[in-house]
A and B are shown apart, each in its own frame.
Chain A
Amino acid sequence: MTLLQTLTDSARNLAVRSPWIYRINAGSCNGCDVECATTALIPRYDVERLGCQYCGSPRHADIVLITGPLTAHIKDDVLRVFAEIPDPKVTVAVGVCPISGGIFRESYAVHAQVDQYLPVDVNVPGCPPRPQAIIEGVAQAIAIWRQRI
C-alpha cells in the first residue's frame, strides 16, 4: 500500500508540471478573448511563467478558459467541444458573461449561466477582467488541477 502510494505520488509529481490551456469562445464580444490573448502572448503578462501553454486541440487541454454568454447558436458546439476535453479538467469562466450573462443577461439569445451546462470551477468576474485577474484565476485553476489529477 505504501509502495503504491509512493508510486502514485511520484507519478503525480511528474505529471503535474505543465497544464495546457484551451480557450472556448461561447459567443463572447471578443473583449475577454483579447484579454486572454494578451495574457498569453504579450511578454508583459506571460502566463507561460506558470507553466501553462495554450494548445490548439481540445484533446490536449487540462485547463479550459470559457468566455462569452453561451449563445443559443453556439451552445451545442460548445458542449460537443467541451465533451472532447479529457478528464481531469478544470474550467475557468472568464468575464461576467459566462458567470451570469453579464450585460446580455436574460436575453432570449443566450443560455447563461454556463454552469447550468458545464461544471465550472473558477469564476473571474470583470468585463473584461484585466490580464492580471485572468492570471490569478489560472493560478487558482492550477491549484485545483494539482489536487484533482
Chain B
Amino acid sequence: MNFLRIFARNLLRGPSTVPFPFGPAWTPARMRGRVQFKLSSCTGCRACEQVCAPGAIRFDKTPEGLRFMMWHNTCVFCGMCEFYCPTDAIHQSDDWHMAHAVGEKYGMAIREVIPYTACTGCGMKTLASAPNPIGVVPPFTPEEVEQQRNQCPACRKKALAERGTPS
C-alpha cells in the first residue's frame, strides 16, 4: 500500500524536480557566489590577497594607485577574503549565475584602483584608502572616514591620537 501513498503524495505535491532552468531556482541564504568589491570601504590592507589560496586576488602598484584585481574563474568561493576583511569591502553575494561563453572569460574579473592623493595634513602622496576601523572606539563617523581617507598614515595616527583613541 506504500506505493499508493507515494502516488497520492506525488499527485498532490507535484514532481520533486526543481523547475530550473525553466523557472526560478532556490538559492540558500548563505550561498557563497560571485564576489563583490566595494572600493570606498577598502583599506588597502591586502589581507584578502594573503589569505586567497588559489591566488584569485592580486594587488599591483600602478602610477594611478593601488590596483585591485580579482578573477572569478580562479576563485574557489571559500569565503576567506570576506572573513578576514576588516571592513565590508569584499563580500560574497549569493549570485551563482556565472556560466559564460569562453569569449567572455576576461570579463569575469573585478578591476578597481585605489587612487593616490595628496595628504590634507602634510601634502605627502598617499593612498586614498578607507581607514582601518578595528579597535577604534567609538567607531568612525562617515565624516571622519572621509577625513582620514585623504590623510597619510602619520597624519591619520595624529588625528586618532587627538581623538583620544589608542591606536
Contact = CB atoms under 8 A, between A and B. Distances in A.
A122 B74 contact: no
Interface string B146-163: 000000000000000000
Nearest to A124: B99
Interface string B77-92: 1100000000000000
Interface in A75-126: 93, 96, 99-103, 105-106, 115, 120-126
Contacts of B53: 103
A103 B25 CA distance: 28
B74 A105 contact: yes
A137 B22 CA distance: 14
B21 interface: yes
Contacts of A50: 21
Interface residues of A, number: 34
B96 A102 contact: no
A90 B15 CA distance: 30
Interface string A127-148: 1011011011101100010000
Contacts of B17: 43-46, 49
B121 to A, nearest CB: 42
Contact of B74 (A102, A124, A137): A102
Interface of A: 43-46, 49-50, 93, 96, 99-103, 105-106, 115, 120-127, 129-130, 132-133, 135-137, 139-140, 144
